[in-house]
Structure 1
Amino acid sequence: MVDGCPMPAVGAEAYDPWPGLVQDIFGGRDMRDGSNVIAIEMPYRAEDAAIVPVTLRTTIAPDDSRRIRSITLVIDQNPAPMAAKFELGPDASVSEISTRVRVNSYTNVHAVAELSDGKLYVTKTFVKASGGCSAPAAKNVEEAKSRLGRMRYRQFAASGQDPSSGRREAQIMIGHPNNSGLQMDQLTQLYIPAFFVNRLQLWQDDSPVLAMEGGISISEDPNVRFTYVTNGAKRFRAEARDTAGHVFQNEWKIDDPGS
């Protein structure tokens, strides 16, 4: 109260978990502005909080001698905020990664790129969505079991690119319920235990292209689409592991990269 007049009520500032996440996930390392290194694209308002599309795109200048070693995707307000960490193959020149994630509440989403100079660069966006981590699975238990570990691979010519440039787009799809541990069985009213793909590795022949360390925020039936540069390989290989210890492997022949 000032001079007999009541002071206006001041609302508590909304809690920002990001400083704590920098400490927990990155050991408190210094974060630099990543606007010229990495871009993140997500819808401002998600149509379905259980399958929110996200695209990570490198924006580092072509004449920059550094390369991006890894990209960590953090959904700040999710129960397990580190959604995925992508490790980029040293010779694959991966420039774009797209996947689908669960978003549990209105939140900032950060993308943190670690460059070959050992420094971290961050950018962020904001998404309005809620309930994605507890949303019921889209497929029933029997259908999910029949699809477990089934992999599909698609290869594309990168849009707007001359095939002779060597730049390609590919997509890996894995049949898996990716249960978050927060979903409830509608019959038993018990929570379904967490069960998800926690590691995915991709190679062209024996050269690493991309690896993903995943968590409960990756949507059911994990789907990763990415752009890379071919080394002339004749086969593409994938290996996925889940939290129950299953190992899923497959490989596919690649058409002549110059065709």
Structure 2
Amino acid sequence: MRSALLALGLTLSAATLAGPLSPAHAAGASDTDQERTARWQEIAKSIFGDRQIEKTDTLVKIDAPARALDAALVPITLTMPEPGRIKAVSLVIDDNPAPYAAKFEFGPAADPSELKLRVRVNNYTDMHAVVETADGKLYEAKQFVKASGGCSAPMGMSDEEAMRGMGDMRMKFAEAQPGKPVEATLMIRHPNFSGMQMNQVTRDYTPARYIDKLTVSEGDRKIFTMTGDISISSNPVINFGFKPDGKPLQVAASDNQGGRWTHSFTPPSPTN
């Protein structure tokens, strides 16, 4: 992921050094369809190389608000109606400073029919969801979202307050039915600083600190591994499905500054 972003000329290291990120292309509401298409082609090549990406109306769909109420907390739902074919899904927010928001790689315990998360959107932009199927092919869906300033939006509290309790986790489970997947919602306390937010006291940019890897498993069966970047909203909330086998769920998270946290959750027993 990092090499792909650098290939786009995005200076993520500037965020780590307490400075703002700068996109290679100054996108905005006035961009033409041709400009947006060219931008996507550039991003796709940097991430997926020369692999062909086919358009799809069935394998993945993006549900996002046409105009975001809060650009720092934009709810996204990825629907994959043929979960048995899906190996991984990548979410790309084309005109964010770091477009590659997240990649989810699914394991044998996953039910990837639906995945929900919250992201930052920095400008009027196309979003792309790219799924990789079990046979190694890539398919993409697109959604346009109107929002601005999400990556630089202040937290509304001091950095110290934002980091208090960092790594704490909670998980909620929907009612379990015998033989059916279970829906779970994972909540992680973490500021996911983007590197573009200004400390209101010091007037310096807060260094980027974000969850870069998250693994959820049930016993020795993986549900998913997420590789993330600065576009994931603060205090990440991820809704996912899994195929229960009665074992506790194990969650392991790490961030780009070396923080590591683990937690175990016991899912409910199926009800008749």
**2:41 aligned with 1:19:** yes
Distance 1:51 1:201, change over 3 A: same
Report how far residue 255 of structure 1 moved. Answer: 2.5
Q: From 154, 175, 181, give the equivalent of 2:195.
A: 181
Q: Is the 8 A contact 1:184 1:192 kept in 2?
A: yes
**2:165 aligned with 1:152:** no
Q: Which residue of 2 aligns with 1:140?
A: 158
Structure 1 unaligned blocks of 5 or more: 1-10
Q: Is the 8 A contact 1:166 1:258 kept in 2?
A: no
Instruction: State the TM-score, normalizing by the size of structure 2.
Output: 0.84
Distance 2:113 2:76 in 1: 14
Q: Is the 8 A contact 1:199 1:214 kept in 2?
A: yes
What amino acid is the match of 1:119?
K
Distance 2:54 2:181 in 1: 29
Structure 2 unaligned blocks of 5 or more: 1-29
What amino acid is the match of 2:103?
K
What amino acid is the match of 2:199?
D
What amino acid is the match of 1:117?
D
Distance 1:206 1:138 in 2: 40
Q: From 59, 71, 94, give the equivalent of 1:49.
A: 71
Q: Is the 8 A contact 2:159 2:199 kept in 1?
A: no
Aligned-partner SS, 2:178: helix
* Bigger Cα Rg: 1
Q: Which residue of 2 aligns with 1:28?
A: 50
**2:180 aligned with 1:166:** yes
How many correspondences in the alignment? 240
Q: Which residue of 2 aligns with 1:4?
A: none
Report how far residue 143 of structure 1 moved. Answer: 2.3
Aligned ranges for residues 1-259 of structure 1 at < 5 Å?
13=32, 15-16=35-36, 17-60=39-82, 67-157=85-175, 163-230=177-244, 232-258=245-271
Distance 2:170 2:109 in 1: 24
Distance 1:139 1:209 in 2: 34
The worse-fitting range, judged by mean Cα deviation, of 237-246 and 88-97 is: 88-97
Taking only the aligned residue pairs, the percentage that are identical comes to 43
Q: Is the 8 A contact 1:101 1:217 kept in 2?
A: yes
What amino acid is the match of 1:255?
P
What amino acid is the match of 1:36?
T
Tell me the alpha carbon deviations over residues 176-222 of structure 1, each in whole angstroms, 9 at most, x when there is no partner. 01000011111221111100000000011221001110100000001
Could you say what the CA RMSD is over the residues aligned between the two structures, in angstroms? 1.7
Q: Is the 8 A contact 1:236 1:252 kept in 2?
A: yes
Distance 1:211 1:250 in 2: 15
Tell me the alpha carbon deviations over residues 58-94 of structure 1, each in whole angstroms, 9 at most, x when there is no partner. 022x8xxx62110000000000000000011134232
Aligned-partner SS, 1:251: strand
Judging by fraction of residues, say which structure has more helix: 2
Distance 2:256 2:109 in 1: 29
Distance 1:12 1:52, change over 3 A: closer
Distance 1:12 1:127, change over 3 A: closer
Aligned-partner SS, 2:43: helix
Report how far residue 12 of structure 1 moved. Answer: 8.5
What amino acid is the match of 1:15?
E
What amino acid is the match of 1:194?
A
Aligned-partner SS, 1:28: coil
Report how far residue 256 of structure 1 moved. Answer: 1.7
Q: Is the 8 A contact 1:173 1:224 kept in 2?
A: yes
Distance 1:234 1:30 in 2: 39
Instruction: State the TM-score, normalizing by the size of structure 1.
Output: 0.88
